[in-house]
């Protein structure tokens, strides 16, 4: 689980900066050399003029303060980074990991017409998620088939094998998940596994769940793979699901994965058709 304390570490700096800003007249604020360089890097014409005049305008200072104010929600460069990431090249970039959803796991939920059902968190409208417990009639763009473990396995054996396969996942495969991954929770006895995957450059974190849901089929493993941030995923969730599905098929599982022929809208919007 992401360390919330680390995520909000910049908040103290924001408060101190706000207090300091009250003590100075913005029109007479003298930027440091590094700040002048940062302003030039934005390509903003106001930044260029302030560099020559030696003073920061009120408009510039407002932009600076606004940028600092969102830091608690961005995360530090490599705070909470996964150990198996493929490179340190982008560690200096702010990471947009997004908050972990509060309603993951198997729970009682409501479909589009308000009827209750038991399943994983539904996807919502964005084409950046797949879930096997969504209703095929209500949400055909996001629903995918559940996976079946081989005959002769019991639930605990199936989820131990599933855990081993996920742990063998290759960060960077298909150009995705270069920031690494980690299983956050695994409970084979209860039939549940939860893992997080991170993009290398911007630190987007996606959530992947596998679960047994009572009444949804013998030997069936329900799954959900979803992005936290943004609208499109450019095929990331499909690539991840299909990579793991392929590994499980080699072990005798019935794991269909994502078929772009049955998800043409997802493929088209994410330019992966």
User: Is the per-residue pLDDT at 258 higher than 50?
Assistant: yes
In terms of pLDDT, which residue wins out, 30 or 209? 209
**In the prediction, which pLDDT does 26 show?**
35
Is 92:38 a contact under the CB 8 Å cutoff?
Answer: no
**In the prediction, which pLDDT does 85 show?**
97
d(CA 115, CA 214): 17
Instruction: Look at residue 184 and give its three-state secondary structure.
Output: strand
Task: Average the pLDDT over 231-252 and give the result.
Answer: 98
In terms of pLDDT, which residue wins out, 62 or 87? 87
d(CA 272, CA 235): 6
**In the prediction, which pLDDT does 256 show?**
95
pLDDT in tens, 42-65: 333 333 333 344 444 443 444 344
Q: Which of 159, 250, 252, 241 lies closest to 207, judged by CA?
A: 241
Residue with tokens 């020559």, as numbered in its chain: 52
The encoded tokens of residue 8 equal 């909000």
User: Is the per-residue pLDDT at 101 higher than 70?
Assistant: yes
d(CA 102, CA 167): 24
In terms of pLDDT, which residue wins out, 114 or 33? 114
d(CA 119, CA 106): 5
User: Is the per-residue pLDDT at 39 higher than 50?
Assistant: no
**In the prediction, which pLDDT does 79 show?**
55
**In the prediction, which pLDDT does 7 show?**
41
The mean predicted confidence, pLDDT, of the chain is 79
Residues 6+ apart with CB under 8 A from 52: none
d(CA 232, CA 113): 26
User: Is the per-residue pLDDT at 21 higher than 70?
Assistant: no
The encoded tokens of residue 136 equal 């095929």
pLDDT in tens, 121-157: 999 899 999 999 998 888 899 999 999 999 999 999 9
Domain definitions of the chain by residue range: 4-74, 107-269
Of all residues in the chain, the percent with pLDDT exceeding 90 is 65
Residues 6+ apart with CB under 8 A from 119: 106, 107, 109, 131, 133, 134, 213, 216, 222
Is 239:176 a contact under the CB 8 Å cutoff?
Answer: yes
- Alpha carbon of 132 to those of 224, 233, 249: distances in Å? 7, 18, 17
Task: Average the pLDDT over 223-238 and give the result.
Answer: 97
Instruction: Look at residue 234 and give its three-state secondary structure.
Output: coil
**In the prediction, which pLDDT does 17 show?**
41
**In the prediction, which pLDDT does 80 show?**
62
CATH of span 107-269: 3.30.310
User: Is the per-residue pLDDT at 238 higher than 80?
Assistant: yes
Q: Which of 106, 85, 81 lies closest to 94, judged by CA?
A: 81
Q: Which of 203, 183, 154, 187 lies closest to 244, judged by CA?
A: 183
């Amino acid at each position: 689980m992401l360390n919330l304390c680390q995520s909000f570490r910049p908040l103290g700096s924001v408060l101190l900066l706000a207090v300091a800003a009250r003590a100075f007249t913005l029109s007479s604020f003298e930027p440091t050399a590094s700040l002048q360089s940062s302003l030039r890097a934005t390509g903003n014409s106001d930044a260029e003029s302030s560099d020559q005049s030696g003073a920061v305008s009120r408009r510039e200072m407002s932009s600076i303060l606004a940028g600092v104010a969102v830091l608690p929600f961005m995360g530090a460069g490599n705070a909470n980074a996964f150990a198996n990431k493929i490179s340190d090249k982008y560690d200096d970039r702010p990471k947009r990991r997004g908050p972990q959803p509060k309603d993951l796991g198997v729970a009682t939920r409501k479909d589009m017409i308000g009827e209750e059902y038991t399943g994983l968190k539904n996807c919502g409208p964005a084409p950046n998620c797949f879930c096997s417990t969504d209703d095929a009639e209500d949400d055909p763009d996001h629903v995918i088939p559940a996976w079946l473990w081989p005959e002769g396995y019991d639930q605990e054996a199936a989820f131990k094998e599933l855990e081993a396969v996920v742990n063998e996942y290759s960060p960077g495969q298909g150009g995705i998940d270069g920031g690494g991954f980690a299983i956050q929770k695994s409970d084979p006895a209860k039939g549940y596994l939860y893992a997080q995957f991170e993009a290398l450059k911007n630190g987007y974190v996606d959530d992947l769940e596998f679960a047994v849901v009572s009444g949804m089929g013998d030997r069936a493993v329900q799954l959900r793979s979803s992005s936290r941030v943004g609208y499109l995923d450019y095929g990331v969730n499909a690539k991840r699901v299909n990579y793991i599905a392929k590994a499980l098929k080699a072990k005798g599982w019935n794991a269909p994965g994502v078929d772009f022929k049955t998800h043409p809208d997802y493929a088209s919007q994410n330019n992966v058709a």
